[in-house]
Amino acid sequence: MKPAVQRMLDLVYPPRCPFCGQVLGPLTECPDCAAQLHRLVLRPPHLPETEFHIDNLGRAAALYRYKGLARGGVLRFKKGGHPDAARWFGAQMATLFGCDFAAAYGTMQAERLPLAPADLIVPAPSSHRRTWQPARLLAIRLSRATGVPWQDVLKKMPGREPQEGLNGKDRLRNARGAVCVVRQQPVAGRRILLVDDVITTGGTANECARVLLRAGAQSVDLVCIAASFPGRDDM
Protein backbone atom coordinates (compact mmCIF):
# COMPACT_ATOMS: atom_id res chain seq x y z
CA MET A 1 0.00 0.00 0.00
CA LYS A 2 1.31 3.47 -0.86
CA PRO A 3 2.53 5.52 2.15
CA ALA A 4 0.14 8.42 1.42
CA VAL A 5 -2.86 6.08 1.32
CA GLN A 6 -1.74 4.38 4.52
CA ARG A 7 -1.43 7.75 6.27
CA MET A 8 -4.99 8.63 5.25
CA LEU A 9 -6.25 5.30 6.55
CA ASP A 10 -4.37 5.86 9.81
CA LEU A 11 -6.33 9.09 10.29
CA VAL A 12 -9.66 7.32 9.81
CA TYR A 13 -8.65 4.07 11.52
CA PRO A 14 -5.78 5.00 13.86
CA PRO A 15 -3.37 2.15 14.63
CA ARG A 16 -4.32 0.37 17.83
CA CYS A 17 -2.55 -2.05 20.09
CA PRO A 18 -3.80 -5.52 19.08
CA PHE A 19 -3.72 -6.61 22.71
CA CYS A 20 -5.50 -3.84 24.64
CA GLY A 21 -7.05 -1.75 21.84
CA GLN A 22 -5.34 1.49 22.89
CA VAL A 23 -4.71 4.01 20.10
CA LEU A 24 -0.96 4.00 19.45
CA GLY A 25 -0.63 7.44 17.84
CA PRO A 26 3.05 8.06 17.02
CA LEU A 27 4.11 5.02 19.07
CA THR A 28 4.89 1.72 17.36
CA GLU A 29 3.85 -0.36 20.35
CA CYS A 30 1.92 0.01 23.59
CA PRO A 31 4.48 0.41 26.42
CA ASP A 32 2.32 -1.36 29.01
CA CYS A 33 1.62 -4.35 26.77
CA ALA A 34 5.21 -4.49 25.50
CA ALA A 35 6.47 -4.99 29.05
CA GLN A 36 4.10 -7.92 29.60
CA LEU A 37 4.66 -9.45 26.16
CA HIS A 38 8.41 -9.43 26.61
CA ARG A 39 8.01 -12.33 29.05
CA LEU A 40 5.93 -14.29 26.53
CA VAL A 41 8.24 -13.96 23.51
CA LEU A 42 9.55 -17.36 22.43
CA ARG A 43 13.33 -17.53 22.63
CA PRO A 44 14.36 -19.16 20.39
CA PRO A 45 11.20 -18.94 18.28
CA HIS A 46 11.39 -22.40 16.74
CA LEU A 47 8.88 -25.11 17.70
CA PRO A 48 10.34 -28.56 18.49
CA GLU A 49 8.92 -31.82 17.12
CA THR A 50 9.07 -33.20 20.67
CA GLU A 51 6.28 -30.78 21.66
CA PHE A 52 4.20 -30.63 18.47
CA HIS A 53 3.08 -33.06 15.76
CA ILE A 54 4.86 -31.31 12.89
CA ASP A 55 6.91 -34.03 11.20
CA ASN A 56 5.76 -32.92 7.72
CA LEU A 57 7.08 -29.40 8.30
CA GLY A 58 10.66 -28.35 7.68
CA ARG A 59 10.76 -25.73 10.43
CA ALA A 60 8.12 -23.99 12.49
CA ALA A 61 8.18 -20.75 14.47
CA ALA A 62 5.92 -18.66 16.67
CA LEU A 63 6.24 -15.18 18.13
CA TYR A 64 4.71 -15.82 21.55
CA ARG A 65 3.57 -18.43 24.02
CA TYR A 66 -0.22 -18.76 23.84
CA LYS A 67 -1.02 -17.51 27.32
CA GLY A 68 -1.82 -14.32 29.20
CA LEU A 69 -1.85 -11.15 27.14
CA ALA A 70 -0.67 -12.93 23.99
CA ARG A 71 -3.59 -15.36 24.18
CA GLY A 72 -6.01 -12.45 24.66
CA GLY A 73 -4.58 -10.64 21.64
CA VAL A 74 -4.86 -13.70 19.42
CA LEU A 75 -8.45 -14.37 20.49
CA ARG A 76 -9.34 -10.73 19.89
CA PHE A 77 -7.86 -10.96 16.40
CA LYS A 78 -9.47 -14.34 15.61
CA LYS A 79 -12.90 -12.99 16.53
CA GLY A 80 -12.67 -10.01 14.20
CA GLY A 81 -10.71 -7.43 16.16
CA HIS A 82 -9.36 -4.13 14.85
CA PRO A 83 -8.24 -4.65 11.21
CA ASP A 84 -4.89 -2.98 11.92
CA ALA A 85 -3.97 -5.98 14.10
CA ALA A 86 -3.12 -7.99 10.97
CA ARG A 87 -0.62 -5.33 9.89
CA TRP A 88 0.98 -5.32 13.33
CA PHE A 89 1.18 -9.11 13.64
CA GLY A 90 2.41 -9.44 10.05
CA ALA A 91 5.20 -6.98 10.73
CA GLN A 92 6.18 -8.86 13.89
CA MET A 93 6.27 -12.13 11.94
CA ALA A 94 8.55 -10.45 9.40
CA THR A 95 11.11 -9.79 12.14
CA LEU A 96 11.68 -13.56 12.27
CA PHE A 97 13.21 -13.20 8.81
CA GLY A 98 15.19 -10.05 9.57
CA CYS A 99 12.86 -7.87 7.51
CA ASP A 100 13.67 -4.17 7.96
CA PHE A 101 10.08 -3.19 7.06
CA ALA A 102 8.98 -4.46 10.46
CA ALA A 103 11.03 -1.82 12.24
CA ALA A 104 8.36 0.73 11.33
CA TYR A 105 5.90 -1.11 13.56
CA GLY A 106 8.09 -2.07 16.51
CA THR A 107 10.37 -5.08 16.96
CA MET A 108 9.71 -6.83 20.24
CA GLN A 109 10.89 -10.07 18.62
CA ALA A 110 14.67 -9.81 18.67
CA GLU A 111 15.69 -13.27 17.46
CA ARG A 112 15.63 -14.46 13.88
CA LEU A 113 14.75 -17.93 12.68
CA PRO A 114 17.06 -19.35 9.99
CA LEU A 115 14.23 -20.46 7.72
CA ALA A 116 14.96 -21.30 4.12
CA PRO A 117 13.81 -18.58 1.71
CA ALA A 118 10.19 -19.03 0.65
CA ASP A 119 8.72 -18.79 -2.85
CA LEU A 120 5.08 -18.63 -1.80
CA ILE A 121 3.15 -17.70 1.35
CA VAL A 122 0.03 -19.82 1.94
CA PRO A 123 -2.55 -19.12 4.67
CA ALA A 124 -3.97 -22.04 6.64
CA PRO A 125 -7.61 -22.56 5.63
CA SER A 126 -10.37 -21.22 7.86
CA SER A 127 -13.66 -22.86 8.72
CA HIS A 128 -16.42 -22.60 6.11
CA ARG A 129 -18.53 -20.84 8.74
CA ARG A 130 -16.06 -17.96 9.14
CA THR A 131 -16.33 -14.73 7.21
CA TRP A 132 -13.36 -13.23 9.08
CA GLN A 133 -10.24 -15.09 7.94
CA PRO A 134 -7.29 -14.19 10.19
CA ALA A 135 -4.72 -16.46 8.52
CA ARG A 136 -5.44 -14.88 5.13
CA LEU A 137 -5.05 -11.37 6.57
CA LEU A 138 -1.74 -12.39 8.13
CA ALA A 139 -0.54 -13.86 4.83
CA ILE A 140 -1.37 -10.63 3.00
CA ARG A 141 0.51 -8.50 5.51
CA LEU A 142 3.49 -10.85 5.69
CA SER A 143 3.63 -10.85 1.90
CA ARG A 144 3.76 -7.05 1.84
CA ALA A 145 6.48 -7.03 4.48
CA THR A 146 8.72 -9.64 2.86
CA GLY A 147 7.95 -9.26 -0.84
CA VAL A 148 7.10 -12.97 -1.10
CA PRO A 149 3.82 -13.52 -3.04
CA TRP A 150 0.87 -15.22 -1.39
CA GLN A 151 -1.98 -17.37 -2.68
CA ASP A 152 -5.00 -19.20 -1.27
CA VAL A 153 -4.46 -22.82 -2.32
CA LEU A 154 -5.91 -24.73 0.65
CA LYS A 155 -9.46 -25.32 1.81
CA LYS A 156 -11.07 -27.29 4.62
CA MET A 157 -13.23 -30.24 3.71
CA PRO A 158 -16.91 -29.80 4.61
CA GLY A 159 -18.59 -31.75 7.38
CA ARG A 160 -15.66 -31.72 9.79
CA GLU A 161 -16.03 -30.96 13.48
CA PRO A 162 -14.37 -27.66 14.52
CA GLN A 163 -11.01 -28.09 16.27
CA GLU A 164 -12.01 -25.72 19.07
CA GLY A 165 -12.99 -27.59 22.22
CA LEU A 166 -11.37 -30.90 21.24
CA ASN A 167 -8.60 -32.47 23.31
CA GLY A 168 -5.16 -33.08 21.85
CA LYS A 169 -5.77 -36.64 20.65
CA ASP A 170 -9.12 -35.74 19.07
CA ARG A 171 -7.59 -32.68 17.38
CA LEU A 172 -5.00 -34.86 15.66
CA ARG A 173 -7.63 -37.39 14.56
CA ASN A 174 -9.99 -34.67 13.34
CA ALA A 175 -7.25 -32.93 11.33
CA ARG A 176 -6.41 -36.00 9.25
CA GLY A 177 -7.95 -35.64 5.80
CA ALA A 178 -9.55 -32.31 6.73
CA VAL A 179 -7.62 -30.18 4.22
CA CYS A 180 -7.13 -30.33 0.46
CA VAL A 181 -5.17 -28.40 -2.18
CA VAL A 182 -7.52 -26.65 -4.60
CA ARG A 183 -4.84 -25.41 -7.01
CA GLN A 184 -1.69 -27.46 -7.52
CA GLN A 185 0.00 -25.37 -10.22
CA PRO A 186 1.19 -22.57 -7.88
CA VAL A 187 2.50 -25.16 -5.38
CA ALA A 188 4.61 -27.50 -7.53
CA GLY A 189 8.33 -27.08 -6.94
CA ARG A 190 7.81 -24.16 -4.53
CA ARG A 191 9.17 -23.59 -1.04
CA ILE A 192 6.01 -22.84 0.91
CA LEU A 193 5.66 -20.69 4.01
CA LEU A 194 2.44 -21.68 5.78
CA VAL A 195 0.88 -18.95 7.95
CA ASP A 196 -1.59 -19.39 10.82
CA ASP A 197 -2.66 -17.53 13.94
CA VAL A 198 -2.01 -20.17 16.62
CA ILE A 199 -0.67 -23.72 16.84
CA THR A 200 -1.99 -26.06 19.55
CA THR A 201 -1.10 -29.67 18.74
CA GLY A 202 0.22 -29.03 15.25
CA GLY A 203 -2.35 -31.38 13.71
CA THR A 204 -3.86 -28.89 11.26
CA ALA A 205 -0.52 -27.38 10.22
CA ASN A 206 0.97 -30.83 9.75
CA GLU A 207 -1.98 -31.91 7.59
CA CYS A 208 -1.62 -28.74 5.51
CA ALA A 209 2.05 -29.53 5.00
CA ARG A 210 1.26 -33.14 4.07
CA VAL A 211 -1.17 -32.22 1.28
CA LEU A 212 1.10 -29.43 0.02
CA LEU A 213 4.03 -31.85 -0.24
CA ARG A 214 1.82 -34.37 -2.04
CA ALA A 215 0.86 -31.61 -4.47
CA GLY A 216 4.53 -31.16 -5.34
CA ALA A 217 5.80 -28.52 -2.90
CA GLN A 218 9.56 -28.65 -2.39
CA SER A 219 9.26 -27.88 1.33
CA VAL A 220 6.84 -26.39 3.85
CA ASP A 221 7.74 -24.18 6.83
CA LEU A 222 5.31 -22.62 9.32
CA VAL A 223 5.09 -19.26 11.07
CA CYS A 224 2.31 -18.25 13.46
CA ILE A 225 1.53 -15.66 16.11
CA ALA A 226 1.48 -17.95 19.13
CA ALA A 227 2.02 -21.54 20.24
CA SER A 228 0.32 -23.43 23.04
CA PHE A 229 2.70 -25.88 24.68
CA PRO A 230 0.68 -28.95 25.77
CA GLY A 231 0.59 -29.39 29.52
CA ARG A 232 2.34 -26.09 30.19
CA ASP A 233 0.26 -23.24 28.78
CA ASP A 234 -3.33 -22.37 29.46
CA MET A 235 -5.74 -23.45 26.71
Question: Quick check: is 36 in a domain?
Answer: yes
DSSP code at position 41: B
Q: Report the SS3 class of residue 67.
A: coil
> What integer pLDDT is reported at residue 14 of this predicted model?
72
Q: What is the pLDDT of residue 84?
A: 73
pLDDT computed for residue 226 by the predictor: 95
Q: Which residues contact 2 (CB under 8 A, 6 or more apart)?
A: none
Contact predicate 186/132, CB 8 Å:
no
Extract long-range pairs of 24-28: CB within 8 Å, 24+ residues apart.
28/104, 28/105, 28/106
The Cα 46–Cα 43 span in angstroms is 8
Question: Has residue 134 been placed in a domain?
Answer: yes
Residue 77, SS3 per DSSP: helix
* Structural domain range at position 196: 3-227
Residue-level pLDDT at 81: 64
- 147 lies in some domain: yes
Per-residue pLDDT of the chain in tens (235 residues, 90 and over written 9)? 545 545 555 555 677 888 888 887 655 678 888 888 889 998 888 898 888 989 999 989 999 999 999 999 999 898 876 667 888 898 888 877 765 433 333 433 434 444 557 899 999 998 756 678 899 999 998 988 888 899 999 998 776 655 565 555 666 666 676 788 998 889 999 999 999 999 988 989 999 999 999 999 999 999 999 999 866 554 4
Residue 44, preceding bond cis, omega within 30 degrees? yes
- Per the CB < 8 A criterion, the answer to whether 53 and 172 are in contact is yes
What pLDDT score was predicted for residue 113? 46
In a domain, 235, yes or no: no
Does residue 68 sit within a domain? Answer: yes
Within a domain: residue 234? Answer: no
- Count how many domains the chain has: 1
pLDDT for the residue numbered 101: 37
Give domain status of residue 232, yes or no: no
Q: What's the whole-model pTM score?
A: 0.83
What CATH number is attached to the domain comprising 25? 3.40.50.2020
Predicted local confidence at residue 24, as pLDDT:
76
Q: How many CB atoms lie within 10 A of CB 201?
A: 22
Query: Within a domain: residue 75?
Result: yes
